Amino acid sequence: MAPELDGARGRARLVDPFGRAISYLRVSVTDRCDFRCVYCMAENMSFLPKAHVLTLEELDRLSSAFVARGVRKLRLTGGEPLVRRGIMTLISSLSRHLQSGTLDELTLTTNGSQLAKYAPEIKACGVQRLNVSLDTLDPEKFRAITRWGSLQQVLAGIDAAQAAGLKIKINAVALKGVNDDEFSRLIDWAHGRGMDLTLIEVMPLGEIGEEGRLDQYLPLSMVRARLAERYTLTDIDYRSGGPARYVRVAETGGRLGFITPLTHNFCESCNRVRVTCTGTLYMCLGQEDAADLRKPLRASESDDPLFAAIDEAIGRKPKGHDFVIDRRHKRPALARHMSVTGG
């Protein structure tokens, strides 16, 4: 069968061996962050040497290669994407694909700390929506979870983003004994401000120091059952392009999403791949298999070796993942941190 062609460029679209078209790329633009969230990083992280990290031009070239091969949605993440020096140059440059119609959406996942500074510029680049990660509305808990973050600064960032006309979705990681008494507060707050809220199950990625994930893990099936005692939750078909399953909360009128990689298998509809800031392509968040795209990127000014490496890697995209957190698996299922692939 002839490969499906992307109308705009005449290049074959990326389709994996299970027939899933790859239309969504997440790009981690830095492994660095101004926070040290307890489930994500150890406090004393060592970061990558600069020479290993792709330059802004290389990140642009790499992302644009995927756009040329049919990726319609691009999400910049990290680490914290907005602490990468010159990040606005990259966002502004990538926005040309929105203008040309080859990209449907350019977006970011951010901890919100720099939004007060960047929100208007981000909006001016054609970005419509942002995901902001926020696990608690309690300043002390916020400090305990992020170790270095300030809740006030993040809330000011959210205010600035909404004032600039950006739509915000809040992502909160559900942490047993930490924010599990706060979900209704978060729902009322987010929905009261016209923002969707998505709860995320903690995933076993990377060594994080003292606190074990067994202690943090809270199945969202339990959270949902508890919330259903207080709210009327109705399953809805809405999809945000990601793995979240949504319900409508009758009392607030807002949407609540659940991302349950451990208790719910969402692999069959997976349309995404991830690239790290060193140009490593991960075909699945839950598997170690990866492809080095930095080498072909740096080897030639032509994109042909890069396209060949991408094709070869997509041909190995696995059917699914196999995360387990239980007493027999005390080590993280994967050694890399979420800040490497950006979630």
Positions touching ligand SF4 (CB under 6 A) are: 33, 35-37, 40-41, 78-80, 111, 133, 339
Output 36 or 191, the one with its CB closest to ligand SF4: 36
Name the helix (H) or strand (E) containing 172.
strand 167-174
Nearest approach, Cβ of 49 to ligand SAM (angstroms)? Answer: 20
CB 278 within 8 A of CB 219: no
State the number of CA atoms in the 13 A half-sphere of 48 facing the CB: 21
Output 186 or 309, the one with its CB closest to ligand SAM: 186
- The stretch near ligand SAM (CB under 6 A) out of 105-113, 175-183, 245-253, 305-313 is 105-113
Output 14 or 108, the one with its CB closest to ligand SAM: 108
Nearest approach, Cβ of 339 to ligand SF4 (angstroms)? Answer: 4
CB 34 within 8 A of CB 111: yes
Decide if residue 77 touches ligand SAM (CB under 6 A).
yes
Q: Which does 83 bind (CB under 5 to 8 A by kind): ligand SAM, ligand SF4, none?
A: none
Decide if residue 33 touches ligand SAM (CB under 6 A).
yes
Q: Which does 200 bind (CB under 5 to 8 A by kind): ligand SF4, ligand SAM, none?
A: ligand SAM
Decide if residue 179 touches ligand SAM (CB under 6 A).
no
DSSP 13: P
Residues 290-329 that bind ligand SAM (CB under 6 A): none
Q: In what order do the strands lie in the sheet with 129-133?
A: 233-236, 245-249, 255-259, 196-201, 167-174, 129-133, 105-110, 73-77, 24-28, 272-275, 280-282, 290-292
The sign of the CA dihedral 41, 45, 46, 49 is positive
Q: Measured at the alpha carbon of residue 257, what is the angle toward residues 252 and 258, in degrees to the nearest 5?
A: 135
Using the rule CB under 6 A, which residue among 80, 182, 196, 303 binds ligand SAM? 80
CB 137 within 8 A of CB 130: no
Output 69 or 73, the one with its CB closest to ligand SAM: 73
Bridge partners, 246 (sequence order):
236, 257
Q: Which does 36 bind (CB under 5 to 8 A by kind): ligand SF4, ligand SAM, none?
A: ligand SF4
The residues near 310 (Cβ < 8 Å, ≥ 6 apart) are 14, 65, 66, 69, 281, 291, 293
Using the rule CB under 6 A, which residue among 29, 40, 122, 197 binds ligand SAM? 40
Binding positions for ligand SAM, rule: CB under 6 A: 33, 39-40, 77-78, 80, 109-111, 133, 171, 173, 200, 202-203, 205, 338-339, 342-343
